[in-house]
């Protein structure tokens, strides 16, 4: 659509210069509200237990799940807590899922390195046919069996299962359901075409030796320097650019300086310093022309656990002069021109990928929507 | 006329100077709209080719359009060499635009030089990189131009939290922020957070980093001629070591930046303002040296140096005084040439000439005046001396008290000290050793005093033998 629009105007640039050159005004942002306040951490305390997170999660999801279960299996189905279960009785239970994975890397095994045992090599997927599912609610937990695909589900999902308890203490599942999608608000109509550009994985500081021409071309297209008039006109319709993580490359993360001797590393800078400087220049060019939101990613200099806090503005002295630059948290939520955007830099999807058999990232993303939780594995493995 | 001019310019750039002329480079150099630059390049190529078919010109084009890849249509933008132009064009489903990207004399192997040309010209024009672009964004106004007037207000309001002066300085220079932007309020708070952490050295380093980084920001707000003064202001908080580094950075940044606004008087004005509303001790102390040192860096350096020096010598003096109080070594001390004042201040040792019966061994040894003393007893001064007096109190116990007494030097010298020093009175004994040996004295107690003082220094062993 972008290209077709762009192609509609006549090609004028392969011709002798003309005096009049069109400049286009960037579409003004009609409305923008940043709703990612919940992701900002106030003070950091490292003494919190995860149990509270799970308890809150269950508490909030319970009503949705109950209504969904009733919808699916009929209003007459009984919703019970685990402690009220009678053997042989068919009922529905709502709880958080826990998947016991023998291959999951655990901190205890890492500590065993001290005893000269081999650490577990990193794998791409940690699933195993022997994984077991356990359903936990506020007070109890019970093993699940039956018609539930353990490989697809991950720890932390809240779901409702329909089945009956056996004498052996396991719960045989006949069916299960998630909270599914919430009702959508209709998007308000727009007067002109507006585009939001999502950029991710710029990978600066990669040190690969290749020049940044590709990135520069992108910036030029967005800022309206490249391309013919048609393209520039279309580019003017880009109302926002969201840089979604991994702005720095994986190579900047090298921790050699910890392993090397001090005298070798004394005068060297971290690779990320140079990369951040390049990023600053790119951001300067972009923010001089379009509102930009910068989200941190896996390799960016901010905290590691989700929610990642915004990058610090002092890293971008040139670009922060422009108010169009916004540094935002990692799960980022905003309403841009009436459309609600919620996104992450991908760590949650790759985490789910590692612990379930789902292969397609888009499928995983859709699944998180169905489960109504961006990142069910969050406190556990993320 | 004007038309011919640019043609000649391009000709000169390409053939004579052997440059790579990209449209962006041309647009900045000639100060024209990017589209016009592209058209100029095209025009030049056409004419040159018409005139001289053997022209050694290599041209790269930019092609963009939609491409069907893996079943998805994507918008592709590519820089292609002339010989590949048609091939790429045919692959695109819809061609959005084609124009000349660059002209150069030699064939390019990869995109490196192209990128570098653009990068260089961009670096030198960072502040107005969108000037010749086809899209203008009304919202993208640099903050400095907008908010300089309200900067002072914000500096004041932002000063509440920090207790460290570097933080204050940060705020004054970074305090130019619009009220509506959350991000800027985060910035001082973020810096505040940095300083709230206890590691002072860490914050110092972080400070330095952010300082040199924000130098670029602050340079937007400062004039060129105020650079040394500004360096001064900053240098107060960093000490001499970092000052040179900062100055160098400052100068280089000045060379790069073009804008010169908001100069130092507002900053210096705010400095005293700083002192007043916050009322922090440190900041008020620093405000004075700041005022003093506004003129020249050297002068400031000297002032600072002298400040430090006096402090140091005072401390030294204090140390010496404290240590030397319990013991007097005036005979040896007088021989040593430096800091005669110390000898005067230094009191003779506390060994009392106790007339009381000496059940304690120490007081016994002390009262004996050594023979050596008489020779060097030129200086006679009355001064207050900490001496220990031994006496029997009501209950019949022997009590030794340290009491200040006013005595003349020669009389109240320490015998212990004298004995040991008479034995090994090396000429190498310097003032530094004095404090050492005397320090050992009070520490080990008067009983062991004599023995401890035998070893003046580590090399004392060897000298005796």
Q: What is the per-residue pLDDT across A112-121, written as a single tens digit (0 to 9) for each? A: 666 655 556 6
Taking 50 as the threshold, does the pLDDT of residue B181 lie above it? no
Taking 70 as the threshold, does the pLDDT of residue B111 lie above it? yes
Please state which of the ranges A18-32, A136-150, B162-176, B352-366 shows the lowest mean pLDDT.
B162-176
The average pLDDT across A63-88 equals 80
pLDDT of residue A112: 64
Inter-chain touch A288–B114, beta carbons under 8 Å? no
Taking 80 as the threshold, does the pLDDT of residue B176 lie above it? no
Taking 80 as the threshold, does the pLDDT of residue B59 lie above it? yes
Query: Chain A contacts of B110, Cβ < 8 Å?
Result: 210-211
| Ordered structural domains, chain B, with CATH | 1-124 (3.90.1030.20)
Taking 50 as the threshold, does the pLDDT of residue B240 lie above it? no
- CA distance, residue A372 to nearest chain B CA (Å): 28
Please state which of the ranges A105-119, A247-261, A266-280, A326-340 shows the lowest mean pLDDT.
A105-119
pLDDT of residue B244: 47
pLDDT of residue A322: 83
Please state which of the ranges A289-303, A321-335, A339-353, B198-212 shows the lowest mean pLDDT.
B198-212
Q: What percent of chain A has pLDDT above 70?
A: 79
The average pLDDT across B287-294 equals 42
How many other C-beta atoms are found inside a 10 Å radius of the C-beta of residue A104?
A: 18
Measured CA to CA, the distance from residue B347 to residue B344 in angstroms comes to 7
**What is the residue-averaged pLDDT of chain A?**
77
Inter-chain touch B130–A29, beta carbons under 8 Å? no
H or E element that contains B113:
helix B112-123
pLDDT-derived band at A88, boundaries 50, 70, 90: confident
pLDDT-derived band at B273, boundaries 50, 70, 90: very low
| Domain at A1-10+24-42+192-253+268-349, CATH class | alpha beta
How many other C-beta atoms are found inside a 10 Å radius of the C-beta of residue B290?
A: 24
Asked if the interface predicted TM-score (ipTM) of this complex is over 0.90, the answer is: no
Q: What is the pTM of this model?
A: 0.55
Q: What percent of chain A has pLDDT above 90?
A: 0
Inter-chain touch B96–A324, beta carbons under 8 Å? no
User: Is the pLDDT higher at B59 or at B372?
Assistant: B59
User: Among the ranges A195-209, B152-166, B197-211, which has the highest mean pLDDT value?
Assistant: A195-209
pLDDT-derived band at B195, boundaries 50, 70, 90: very low
pLDDT-derived band at B283, boundaries 50, 70, 90: very low
pLDDT of residue B220: 40
Give φ, ψ of B79 to 5 degrees.
-100, 120
Pick from B94, B99, B144: which is nearest to A321 by CB? Answer: B144
Contacts with A373 (C-beta within 8 Å, 6 or more apart), sequence order = A57, A61, A156, A157, A158
pLDDT of residue A99: 82
User: Is the pLDDT higher at A78 or at A105?
Assistant: A78
Give the pLDDT confidence of B433-444 residue by residue, as tens digits.
444 444 444 444
User: Is the pLDDT higher at A52 or at B272?
Assistant: A52
Pick from A2, A4, A17: which is nearest to B43 by CB? Answer: A17
Pick from B141, B183, B213: which is nearest to A317 by CB? Answer: B213
pLDDT of residue A42: 67
The average pLDDT across A295-299 equals 84
Inter-chain touch B136–A23, beta carbons under 8 Å? yes
Inter-chain touch A211–B96, beta carbons under 8 Å? no
Whether residue A329 lies within 8 A of chain B, CB to CB, comes out as no
Tokens of residue B390, six digits: 């031994």
The interface residues of chain A toward chain B in range 272-301, judged by CB-CB distance below 8 A, are: 281, 284-285, 287-291
Pick from B94, B98, B214: which is nearest to A14 by CB? Answer: B98
Please state which of the ranges A76-85, B126-135, B157-166 shows the lowest mean pLDDT.
B157-166
pLDDT of residue A266: 66
pLDDT of residue B436: 47
pLDDT-derived band at A38, boundaries 50, 70, 90: confident
Taking 80 as the threshold, does the pLDDT of residue A32 lie above it? no
HEC string of chain A? Answer: CHHHHHHCCCCCCCCCCCCCCCCEECCCCCCEEECCHHHCCCCCCCCCCCHHHHHHHHHHHHHHHHHHHHHHHCCCCCEECHHHCCECCEEEEEEEEEEECCCCCCHHHHHHHHHCCCCCCCCCCCCCCCCEEEEECCCCEEEEEECCCCCCCCCCCEEEEEEEECCCCEEEEEEEECCCCCCCCCCCCCCCCCEEEEECCCCECCCCCCCCHHHHHHHHHHHCCCCCHHHHHHHCCEEEEEEECCCECHHHHCCHHHHCCHHHHCCCCCHHHHHHHHHHHHHHHHHCCCCEEEECCCCCCCCCCCCCCCCCHHHCCCHHHECCEEECCCCEEEEECCEEEEECCCHHHHHHHHHCCCCCHHHHHHHHHHHCCCCCCHHHHC
Taking 70 as the threshold, does the pLDDT of residue B352 lie above it? no
What is the residue extent of each domain of chain A? 1-10+24-42+192-253+268-349
Taking 70 as the threshold, does the pLDDT of residue A247 lie above it? yes
- CA distance, residue A243 to nearest chain B CA (Å): 17
Chain A residue whose CA is closest to B129: A285
Closest listed residue to residue A50, CA positions, set A381, A364, A380, A273: A380
Contacts with B431 (C-beta within 8 Å, 6 or more apart), sequence order = B320, B336, B338, B339, B342
Inter-chain touch B183–A320, beta carbons under 8 Å? yes
R_g of chain B computed on alpha carbons? 39
pLDDT-derived band at B227, boundaries 50, 70, 90: very low
Total residues belonging to chain B: 465
**Chains A & B: contacts with CB separation below 8 Å:** 223
């Amino acid at each position: 659509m972008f290209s077709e629009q762009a192609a509609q105007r006549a090609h004028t640039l392969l011709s002798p210069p003309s005096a009049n050159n069109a400049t286009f005004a960037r579409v003004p942002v009609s409305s923008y509200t940043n709703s990612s306040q919940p992701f900002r951490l106030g003070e950091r305390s490292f003494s919190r237990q995860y149990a509270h997170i799970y308890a809150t999660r269950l508490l909030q999801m319970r009503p949705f799940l109950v209504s969904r279960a009733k919808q699916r299996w009929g209003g007459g189905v009984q919703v019970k807590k685990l402690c009220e279960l009678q053997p042989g009785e068919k009922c529905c239970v709502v709880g958080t899922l826990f998947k016991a994975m023998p291959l999951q890397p655990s901190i205890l095994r890492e500590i065993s390195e001290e005893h000269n045992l081999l650490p577990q090599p990193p794998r791409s997927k940690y699933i195993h046919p022997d994984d077991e599912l356990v359903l936990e609610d506020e007070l109890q937990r019970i093993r699940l069996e039956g018609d539930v695909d353990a490989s697809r589900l991950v720890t932390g999902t809240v779901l409702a299962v329909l089945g009956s308890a056996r004498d052996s203490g396991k719960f045989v599942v006949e069916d299960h359901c998630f909270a599914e999608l919430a009702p959508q608000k209709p998007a308000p109509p727009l007067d002109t075409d507006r585009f939001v550009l999502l950029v991710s994985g710029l990978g600066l500081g990669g040190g690969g030796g290749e020049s940044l021409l590709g990135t520069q071309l992108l910036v030029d297209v967005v800022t309206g320097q490249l391309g013919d008039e048609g393209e520039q006109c279309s580019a003017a319709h880009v109302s926002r650019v969201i840089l979604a993580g991994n702005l720095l490359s994986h190579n900047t993360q090298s921790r050699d300086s910890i392993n090397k001797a001090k005298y070798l590393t004394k005068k060297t800078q971290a690779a990320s310093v140079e990369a951040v400087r390049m990023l600053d220049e790119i951001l300067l060019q972009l923010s001089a022309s379009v509102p930009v939101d910068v989200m941190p990613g896996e390799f960016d200099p901010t905290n590691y656990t989700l929610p990642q806090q915004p990058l610090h503005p002092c890293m971008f002295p040139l670009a922060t002069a422009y108010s169009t630059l916004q540094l935002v948290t990692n799960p980022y939520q905003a309403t841009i021109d009436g459309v609600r955007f919620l996104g992450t830099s991908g760590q949650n999807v790759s985490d789910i990928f590692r612990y379930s058999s789902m292969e397609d990232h888009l499928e995983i993303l859709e699944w998180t929507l169905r489960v109504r939780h961006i990142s069910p594995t969050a406190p556990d493995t993320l | 006329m004007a038309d011919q001019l640019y043609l000649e310019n391009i000709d000169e750039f390409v053939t004579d100077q052997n440059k790579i002329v990209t449209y962006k480079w041309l647009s900045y150099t000639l100060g024209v709209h990017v589209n016009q630059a592209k058209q100029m390049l095209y025009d030049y190529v056409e004419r040159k080719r018409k005139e001289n078919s053997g022209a050694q010109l290599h041209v790269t084009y930019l092609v963009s359009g939609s491409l069907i890849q893996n079943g998805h249509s994507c918008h592709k933008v590519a820089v292609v060499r002339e010989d590949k132009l048609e091939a790429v064009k045919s692959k695109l489903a819809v061609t959005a635009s084609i124009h000349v990207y660059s002209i150069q004399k030699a064939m390019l192997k990869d995109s490196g030089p192209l990128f570098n040309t653009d990068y260089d010209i961009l670096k030198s024009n960072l502040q107005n990189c969108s000037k010749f672009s086809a899209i203008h964004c009304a919202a993208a106004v640099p903050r400095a131009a907008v908010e300089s007037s309200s900067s002072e207000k914000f500096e004041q309001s932002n000063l509440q939290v920090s207790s460290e002066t570097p933080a204050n300085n940060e705020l004054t220079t970074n305090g130019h922020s619009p009220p509506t932007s959350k991000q800027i309020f985060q910035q001082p708070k973020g810096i505040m957070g940095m300083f709230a952490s206890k590691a002072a050295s860490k914050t110092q380093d972080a400070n330095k980093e952010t300082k040199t980084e924000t130098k670029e920001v602050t340079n937007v707000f400062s004039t060129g001629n105020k650079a040394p003064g500004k360096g001064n202001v900053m240098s107060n908080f960093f000490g001499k070591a970092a000052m040179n580094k900062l100055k160098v950075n400052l100068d280089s940044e000045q060379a790069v930046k073009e804008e010169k606004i908001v100069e130092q008087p507002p900053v210096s004005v705010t400095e005293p303002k700083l002192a007043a509303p916050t009322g922090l001790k440190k900041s008020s102390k620093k405000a004075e040296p700041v005022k003093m040192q506004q003129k020249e860096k050297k002068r400031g350096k000297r002032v600072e140096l002298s400040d430090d020096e006096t402090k140091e010598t005072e401390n030294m003096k204090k140390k010496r005084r404290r240590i030397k109080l319990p013991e007097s070594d005036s005979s040896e001390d007088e021989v040593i040439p430096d800091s005669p004042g110390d000898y005067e201040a230094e009191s003779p040792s506390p060994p009392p000439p106790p007339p009381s019966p000496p059940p304690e061994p120490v007081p016994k040894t002390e009262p004996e005046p050594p023979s050596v003393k008489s020779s060097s007893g030129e200086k006679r001064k009355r001064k207050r001396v900490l001496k220990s007096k031994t006496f029997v109190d009501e209950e019949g116990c022997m009590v030794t008290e340290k009491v200040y007494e006013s005595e003349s030097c020669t009389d109240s010298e320490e015998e212990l000290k004298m004995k040991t020093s008479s034995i090994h009175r090396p000429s190498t004994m310097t003032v530094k050793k004095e404090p050492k040996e005397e320090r050992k004295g009070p520490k080990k107690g008067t009983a062991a005093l004599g023995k401890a003082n035998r070893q003046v220094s580590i090399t004392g062993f060897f000298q005796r033998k």
